[in-house]
Structure formats: structure tokens, C-alpha cells
Homo-oligomer: A and B are copies of this chain.
Amino acid sequence: MADVNREPRQAFSLKQIVERFGGEVLGDAAVQVDQVATLESATATQISFFTNPRYRRQLEQTQAGAVIVSREVGKIEGRTLIVCDNPYSYFARVSDFLNPPPALVPGAHPSAAIHAQAHVHPSASIGPLVAIDAGAVIGPRSAIGPGSSIGARVRIGADCRIHANVSIYDDCRIGERAILHSGVVIGADGFGLAMDAGRYRKIPQIGRVIVGDDVEIGANTTIDRGALDDTVIEEGVKLDNQIQIGHNCRIGAHTAIAGCVGIAGSTRIGRYCRIGGSAMIGGHLEIVDNVEIGGASAVAKSILKAGTYTALFPIAPHQDWLRNAAHIRHLDALARRVRELAARLAELEKTRT
């Protein structure tokens, strides 16, 4: 928990918290808390939450000053609780409240290289060593971190947070309240090649990347610009680190994608999907709304029905794997053999009767 050299923390009573966020205090509403913590590590001036029944024992043993729980949990002897409908989301709001982001310093650091024809809102905060090219627009209260490069004619909406060393290529657009973490690359050329007499010829990538409102993009994630049309990340999409999204993909609103996922070009993913870490999704596919893909699963065909899908080779001690995996190369022969045995057995059974 990071408060070395920070402002002293401000404490709030549970009464103040429920006045602000709703819910009900079971126990002493005068208890004061100044930080959030896990059940395991919380102290008497910290507030925690309980959602997973597996941690019931920790709930009983916690030193936390208060715990946020759902209405079903009810009273617990000797525990001060805030009961509410969605404890995890409530906890997120309390954490936001107790951990306000550092105040933005409006204006540009003198070391930033801002083109004379860029349009930076006076309330925006441009960090040291940022490059902003001609025609770029930086919206109100947006912050650009050190070393980031904003290409020509890029438009970044209001209240965005672009961290250090982000690269946004020419003409791309970022909505409002977007968060781009360090090392993100938006708008690099898609992988478009035409083979011509033994050499690849590059297909110019003239589309853009359009990122909607309330999108968060994790560290070192890359989203390629469209070949002809745009690559589109709809509002509320949440992308973890090191994800690769190919040209002309469209990711539907409020879809969440975990780290290291690769999505090849021209694939469309629906709304409210959840893609597990290290999954791989082929190109030119369609995945409908509300699909969940398991971690490390490869998707080579469209998925046209909502549901949960998995493709995972089960791990095993290496010697067991050696023994079993070899048979995969002969599954067809094994299946044929079983069919053949069944036929011979049926024949025998006939002669018996």
C-alpha cells in the first residue's frame, strides 16, 4: 500500500460512508476508516469486503474496522458491517473515495514537444517529454504521461489518462474517460501483405482505430489500424495487458479481455463477452454477445451461440503426458479399431444365439 511521502490519509466514519453510498451499518456507525484492505491484512482503521464464501473464516478472524457484505450475510457477532446489494462494487466506490487520484497539474511541462498546430485544452496536463503532432486534439482534464507520442490529427476526449510511453499513430480517436497504460500502441499498421513474384508487397493501412468512452487498455497492448475501414473498440471495453488486436476487428461494448490474448484481423466480438487470458482468436470470425472463452483456448471457428467454451489440453506430470499424448496422433486409428471390434463382436453374438 503506497503512501510513502503522500498526504496524511483522511478518515471517514461508517455513517459518512453510508450517507454517501447507501447501505446500512450493522454495529457502531462512528467507527472511522481511512483505507481499504483485504480481510487478512486489514487493521482497525481499515475497511474490507466479503463476497466469496471460501473466505468465511477470514471474515470471522479479520481485524478490519468494518467489512462490506451482502444482505444475505446478516449480523455477525463482534463484527462491524456495512450491508449492501453489491459488496464488491460498493467496495470499489469506497476505495475510490479513500484513494482519490493525484490532483492534475494543468498545462504542459516545458520539455514537452507540442506542435504549434496541436490543440491542447488548457485544463489538460501534458507530462515531460511528451510529443504531440499537428492537428492533434487533447480534451479537457486529460493527462498525457512522460514520453508518450500523440500522432497528427489524433483526438483524445475529456478526462482521459494516458500513462507513460504510450504511442498513438496519426488519425486515431480515443473517447472520454479512457485509460491507456504504458507501452500501449494504438494504430500501428495492420498485417496486410500481397505476395507478388516471390516478395511481399505491403498493403497500405488507411483505416483508423476508434476507441470508445470508458475503455481501459492494459500495458503493452497493441491495437492495429484498419486496412480500409476502421478498427473499433466500443464503449466500456476492458482490455488487460499484452493483448494484440488485429486490423478491422470490432470489440463489442462492455466486453472484458484478459492478458496476452491475440485476436487476428477482421474478427467481430460481441457485447459482454469475457475472454480468458492467453486465448487466441482467429481472423474473420464472428463471436456473438455473452460468450465466455476459457483461458488459453484457441478459437478457430465462429461462435454463434452464447455460452462458455473451452479448449485446454489437460496438464499432467511429464511422464504421464508422454505416455498419453502419443495416442492423440492415432485417435482415428483407435476409433476405427473400436468400430471394427464392435462389428466382430456383434457377429459373434449372432452366432451364439
User: Do residues B327 and A238 form an inter-chain contact, with CB atoms below 8 A?
Assistant: no
Inter-chain contact B311/A300, CB cutoff 8 Å: no
Whether the pair B163, A165 counts as a contact (CB closer than 8 A) is no
Pair A181/B188 contact, Cβ less than 8 Å: yes
Q: A113-B109, A260-B244, A262-B260 are in contact. Are A300 and B329 (CB under 8 A)?
A: no
Residues 56-79 of A at the B interface (beta carbon under 8 Å): none
Contact with B along A133-155 (1 / 0, CB 8 A): 10100000000011111011100
Distance between Cα atoms of A118 and B311 in the complex (Å):
50
Q: Which residues of B contact A4 (CB under 8 A)?
A: 135, 153, 171
Chain A contact residue count (CB 8 A cutoff): 141
- In the complex, the count of this chain's copies comes to 3
Cα distance, A280 to B240, chains bound together (Å): 15
Q: Which residues in B have their C-beta under 8 angstroms from that of A318?
A: 294, 307-310
Q: Scoring A residues 253 to 264 as 1 if CB is less than 8 Å from chain B, else 0, what string do you get?
A: 010101110101
Contact with B along A35-67 (1 / 0, CB 8 A): 111100100000000000000000000000000
> Per-position contact with B for A86-98: 1 when CB-CB < 8 Å, else 0?
1011011101100
Interface residues of A (CB under 8 A from B): 1-2, 4-6, 35-38, 41, 86, 88-89, 91-93, 95-96, 99, 102, 109, 111, 113, 127-129, 131, 133, 135, 145-149, 151-153, 163-165, 167, 169-171, 179, 181-183, 185, 188-189, 191, 193-196, 198-204, 206-208, 214, 216, 218-220, 222, 224, 228-230, 236, 238, 240-242, 244, 246, 254, 256, 258-260, 262, 264, 277-278, 280, 282-283, 293-301, 307-318, 320-332, 334-335, 337-338, 341-342, 344-345, 348-349, 351-352
11 further A-B pairs in the complex, CB-CB below 8 A; given A99-B206, A224-B241, A299-B315? A95-B206, A164-B169, A188-B218, A193-B256, A199-B214, A264-B277, A278-B298, A310-B318, A310-B325, A337-B342, A344-B349
